[in-house]
Amino acid sequence: MYRTIKGLENVVLIRPAYAIEYDIVDPLELYPTLETKKIKGLFHAGNFNGTTGYEEAAGQGILAGINAGLRANNKEPIILPRSISYIGLMAEDLTTKEIVEPYRLFTSRSEYRLSVRQDNAPERLLELSHNLGLLNEEDYKLAKELLNGVNYYVDYYKSQKTVINLGENPKPYTLSQIIAIEGIDKLKELGFDVPQNPYIKDETEIILKYEYYIEKEKKLIESKIPKISRNI
């Protein structure tokens, strides 16, 4: 393929390579709201801030757009803590750490990735989204119903016990313990109610399976109070 290009008829490909070069603004010049420190009301987003990829640009764009709108209406801008949002993690990394190469957002960058999952965005960001006017009432009501359903089943399974043999002599287990060991579908075999809604079912199972580790992470989150100043 390369040899079909004029001037490269005899080229030898030693190693495939890919490079993009572009100028950036040092993101340390920004607040975690993505507003510039030197010019009030000016927000930056995208590769301009030293990032790479489309997801990073989109995440910055929505954060900068929200805060620009809030600033235009004389409202307090938002800072998304890294403990509830990957966008917040990215904004904090960009504005507090030296960027020596194009920044890519990986799940491995988050010390809270058990709590900040792709499946629980409504739990983490629903109220904030609604308060900012990003969700209409119909969608907000639907999401609240799903979350209420998850909370109901989590509490129900923790409170109910049954005697069962799980590899040893029969003894009493809470339904939540059975889910953690055997999965939520095991409850069907035992004649207990299982959520029909796929989101409620999956989220309930995830919460109860990983409850110990999630609680451990929550304690870590609570012990680390964000040190980012809101005096913008």
Give the Cα separation of 82 and 162 in Å (integer): 40
CA nearest neighbour of 22 among 89, 88, 103, 91:
103
Question: Which of 66, 64, 46 has its CA nearest to residue 56?
Answer: 46
pLDDT at 226: 52
Nearest to 200, CA basis, from 161, 140, 152? 152
Mean pLDDT of 129-136: 93
pLDDT at residue 228 tops 50: no
- Kindly compute the dihedral angle of the four CA atoms of residues 74, 24, 53, 134, in this order, to the nearest 10 degrees: 0
**Domains with residue ranges and CATH for the chain:** 2-110 (3.50.50.60), 152-222 (1.10.10.1800)
Please, what sign has the CA dihedral across residues 78, 82, 88, 92?
positive
What is the reported pTM?
0.81
Residue type, 212: Y
Please compute the mean of the pLDDT values over residues 9-33 and round it to a whole number: 90
Structure tokens at 163: 């005697």
Mean pLDDT computed over 197-223: 91
Cα(190)–Cα(83) distance, integer angstroms: 38
pLDDT for residue 229: 41
Instruction: Quickly state the pLDDT bin for 96 (edges 50, 70, 90).
Output: very high
Structure tokens, 215: 């609680």
pLDDT higher than 60, residue 107: yes
Question: pLDDT tens-digit profile of 144-168?
Answer: 999 999 999 999 999 999 999 887 7
Q: Which two tokens stand for residue 97?
A: 């750490």
Amino acid present at 58: A
Compute CA distances 9 → 5, 109, 188, 212, whole Å: 7, 44, 67, 62
Q: Tokens 């900068």, residue?
A: 64
Q: How confident is the model at residue 225 (pLDDT cuts 50, 70, 90)?
A: low
Question: Which residue intervals of 73-120 are DSSP H helices?
Answer: 86-96
